[in-house]
Each structure stands twice: as structure tokens, then as C-alpha cells.
Amino acid sequence: MCDYTQAALTCSHLLQNGAPDEYFKASNIIILLMLHITREEGTMSQLLIIIQLFFAVVIGMYFLNMLRSQQGSKIAVEKESKKEMEKLQRMRGIHLTKPLSEVTRPSDFREIIGQKNGIRALRAAICSPNPQHVIIYGPPGVGKTAAARLILEDAKRMFNSPFRQDAKFVEVDATTVRFDERGIADPLIGSVHDPIYQGAGAMGIAGIPQPKMGAVTKAHGGILFIDEIGELHPIQMNKLLKILEDRTVFLESAYYSSDDTNIPFHIHDIFQNGLPADFRLIGATTRDPESIPPALRSRCLEIYFKPLIPDEIKVVTRNALRKISFESEEGVFDLIGKYATNGREAVNIIQTAVGVNINENRDKVTVSDIEWVINNGQYSPRPERKIYNEPQIGYVNGLAVYGPNMGTLMEIEATAINVRRGTGRLIVTGIAEEEELRSRDGRTIKRKSMAKASVDNVITVIKKFFGIDTSEYDIHLNFPGGTPVDGPSAGVTIAVAIYSAITNSYIDNKIAMTGEISIRGKIKAVGGIIPKVEAAIHAGVKKVLIPENNWQEIFKTFDIEVIRMSNIVEAINLATVRQSDVKTMITPQPAETNILTAASICGTPAIQAMGDKNIPL
């Protein structure tokens, strides 16, 4: 019996070690013990007892070792987690001061400078019983994001607003949104975590697909703000359009079956009825409207935030200095207004200048500080042009738009030299004569410059309506400024400039104009008329000539005289100045034609015919 006891102790020791080969040794010892007992005792009952003892010990020791292993893993995980948590707490205890751009961020609509009309339109769209989807266009740094962040709280204060007090504002940056075409991950729309993917958890082991909510569902009952919405992938854009229509997100998975009773009820409901996504979309973009899909534009109210003018840049700069309690000398705001094109640039210039002052133990920003920042940062002057102080021959103030809804004064100058009949040339500089257009489907189209086509139209009009043979002149038409110009809206300006150069007629320096000209002498409507008129005001223009079809009643409220014109005759009559009215400091030049009058026009047979039929004089 002593041998049996010794053998049992050996088995116990081997089983406690837990290694597979130790289990095998213990099993062999127990089997030998059983055979020995059977041979010596010969009783079946003792054999059964030994077998039961064997299995009980093996199973017990197996689970004991598993428990020890799990306990050890848990202790190691908890130890690592405690270490990482301490590291996180130490990191969270470190705080830098806020950057000036964040300190000066608008916390109220009154702090958003220069966007009175845009904010009014945004409030009309969102703060109403039936809020609409919105797309905000505008250059960077003019308050688009700030306005979007503030509008929901403004809407909640309306008594008839559908937004509840707990409505959420969910912000997504389209430039960083990434998704998988297989549907594995889509933080904007939502996705399904299929059981085959790593990290599926207990449901994955059970073969249950798990829907994951995207931003459109998280914004349910509130506002989804997508910054730079024009950068969204076309696939996501199409999905978003469907959600705006259905106000529900429908997800699919090859692992879902409506007959599978193992799938929880809420997942059945999600796949059959979809996830709720009843929100209002506010998208912001620095792109032109033409780059946004028409299907999305048609579902949204389009609001335009205008670029900031120098006076508004000054207000932003003054507010930034006030918030950090810093002083500045006279001329600082004017200088920043000449270079900064938006609020963010103005704040960055101020922040750098203040940093220089602090490093040099000074407490007042000087003009020389701003000049150093501008030169070091390689800032370019704003394309702000002012009118000349006196009338000119062959020089006309045109109007143009550039970027997202930004207007500017455009100089157009022309000279005409009399040459032998039939030898005259036309030289045009400062425009893009040919350009390549790339469509959304990747095709490239070459087309002739619209500005060049406008010049061709002007030559035809001058020959037909004024009886001037342009082949008798070397005409040089120039668009100064170094920026390539294109577009048909300079047509009437070109016509007036060439007419002035040929006839030596003075053009009123306080008049600016815009309009496309047809070969029938008509002035056709053009785009961007509001920013063009605003640019004329800032340039010091007193009168603006616009196409009759561009007239709006709002022009009556502008601090400038806006005059409608319908044909080239009206444009030239309004733009030219009598020599007697020109300042005495200008030496009069011989002029073949002074002022174009109805009588002089009717004296020309070609113009007489046109005047009778098409052009009201």
C-alpha cells in the first residue's frame, strides 16, 4: 500500500506542473497502478475507484491551471492598464495656453464681422418651423464655421423650432473622412461590423453582424456640419443624397438573415427599418458652386459669405488685440488691412507681432513689427485698386470677380496708331488666349478664351455701328496687373476703351462698367454683379454701368449710383467726357469725335439702320 501512496504523490506532483508531457507521465503511472491493483487484488470495484480518481484529478488540475493562466493574464493587463492610465493622467495635467486664433474665435454672431447678410440668410434657413439644408460658400477665414457652430443654439431659443434642447451638433471635416468601399468602416454614413472581422467580440463569435452608427445618425434631431463638403468622395456624396431624401440609413450585410433567431431583436429592427437620420445639413466650402454636384445643390439653400474688406479686417485686428490686452501704435490696423485677405490671416499677423514684442520685453505693436511679419511671411498685397484722379484716353475701369464671390476693379487700357489702310494689327496682352477645362469625368476640353472672343465681338461692333475701319489702326489692348483675365463680362469695357483710343475721347475716371457685348451691340447680363458693385464702391467709383437685365432693387440702397444700360451706344454716351469738362491740368488732344450723340449716330447709314430697328436712342 506504501507503493500506491508513493505513486499517487508522484502523479499529483506531475499534474501540478501543468505541462502536456507531465500529464502524459502521470497518466502512464496511474494506468500502471490500475493494472497492478487489478493483478494483485482482482477486484473490479477498486479499479473503478482508481479510474474515477484519475479523471477527477486530471480535470481538476486542468481547470486549476486555466484559472491560474487567466488570473496571471488579468494581473498583467491590469498592471499595464494602470501604467498607461498614469501616463494619460500626467499628459492631461499638461496644458498650454490657447492660441490667439482660438481666443479670438467668435462666441456670438455679433463677433462675426462683415457677414450681416449671410447670417441673416442662415437664420432664415435654420431658425424657422421648417429648417432647410444649407451650403455656405465663401473664402477661408470669414466666419463660415463659426456661424454654423452658433446657429443651433440660436434655433433652440425659437419657440416654434423643431430642434429640442438636447439636439446635437455633430461636426465632420470632409478632408479627413475616410471610408472603405467594402463597407467595413464609414464614419460618416455608418457601417456593419461583420463577424469575420477582427474585434467582432461575442456577437462575432456567434456569427451576428453588428451595425455601427455614423455621423448622420449621431446628428439625428440636430445639425450635421460638414466642413469642406466639396472634398467628399463621390460615393459618399451619393449616399448622403439618398439619406437627405429618406432621412434614414439602410445598411446591408451578407451575414444578416431575417430568419436567424440568434440575432438580437434590435439588430433585426436596424436592418429592416434602418437607422434614423433626420437632421439638417450645413455644409461649408471654399470651392465655387460649379464644383458641387447639382443634385446636392438643388436640395440645399445656398448662402454666400463675402470676402472681408480692409475696414472689416481692421475691426477683426482691433478685437484680437483687445482680447489679449495689447496696445498698438497708429497705422498698424491700416497696414494689416492692406495685406490680410481674411480674419485668420489678420489674427496670425497679430499673433506673430505680439510674440516678437513679448520676446523683446515690449508691450506695444508697432508698424515696423507688422512690416517685419509681412516681409518674413511673404504676404502679398490685396488686389485692391483705386481709380485715377483724372479722366484718361483709352483707359477704362472694368469690374471682375475672382475666387469665391470676390470682386475687384479691373484696369483696361488701349492705344490706337493710324497706319496705312489694310495694314492695321490687333495686339491683346494680359489674357489667357486658350485654356484647358477638365470635367468631373476626367475629360480635357480646350477652348478659346472668352475674353479673346469678346475682343473679336468688339471689333465687329465698332466697324458696324460707328463706321470705323479698324484695319487702319494698330490697336494694342492690354489688361494690366499681371493676372490672366478671362470671361465675357469685359466686353463693354473693351469696346469703350478701343473707341476712346481711336477717337481720342476722354473716359470718366469715376465710372466703372461691366457687361457682355454681342455682335448686335446689345449689352447682356453677367454674373457676380453684387461683388462687382461692392468692389467699385471700395475703389472710389461714383457711378457703375451694369446691364439692364442685371438690375436689382437692392442697388437703390447702395452708396453709389448704379445705372442701367442696354446697348453700346448708351455705354459710350455715359462713359465719355466733354473736353470742356476735363480738368484744365490735362492738355487737350485733337479728337475726331467728342461726344456720341443721337444726331451724330443717325448721320451714319449703318448706325441709322441699327438705331431704327434694335437700339433705342
Partners of 191 in the β-ladder:
212
One-letter amino acid identity for 94?
I
Element (H, E) at 546: strand 543-547
**Mean pLDDT for the chain overall:** 81
Q: Which grid coordinates belong to 532?
A: 462687382
Tens of pLDDT along 197-256? 655 566 666 778 888 899 999 999 999 999 999 888 888 888 899 999 999 999 888 888
Contact predicate 300/243, CB 8 Å: no
517 against 587, higher pLDDT: 517
Partners of 240 in the β-ladder:
none
Distance CA 466, CA 268 (A): 79
Q: Quick one: pLDDT at residue 47? A: 64
Closest among 115, 305, 556 to 544, alpha carbons compared: 556
Tens of pLDDT along 309-327? 888 999 999 998 988 888 8
Q: Active site residue: 489, 500, 505, 566, which one? A: 489
CATH architecture of 115-195+205-304: 3-Layer(aba) Sandwich (3.40)
Q: Quick one: pLDDT at residue 37? A: 56
Active site residue 128: no
Q: Quick one: pLDDT at residue 617? A: 31
Distance CA 34, CA 568 (A): 120
Q: What is the mean pLDDT of residues 63-82?
A: 74
Give whole-number Cα distances, 587 to 177, 267, 516, in Å: 65, 88, 33
pTM for this entry: 0.72
Query: What class has domain 392-613?
Result: alpha beta
The C-alpha angle 391, 449, 307, rounded to 5 degrees, equals: 65
Contact predicate 459/519, CB 8 Å: no
Element (H, E) at 524: strand 523-524
Domain residue ranges in the chain: 2-78, 115-195+205-304, 310-377, 392-613
Intrachain domains 115-195+205-304 and 310-377 with the same fold? no
Element (H, E) at 91: helix 44-92
List, in order, residues 6 or more apart from 135 with CB less than 8 Å away.
Answer: 229, 282, 283, 284, 285, 292, 296, 297, 300, 301, 302, 303
Q: Active site residue: 314, 500, 532, 566, which one? A: 532
CATH architecture of 310-377: Orthogonal Bundle (1.10)
DSSP state of 519: T
Active site residue 489: yes
DSSP state of 485: B
Q: Quick one: pLDDT at residue 584? A: 45
Cα dihedral sign, 179-185-191-194: positive
Closest among 554, 493, 146, 572 to 344, alpha carbons compared: 146
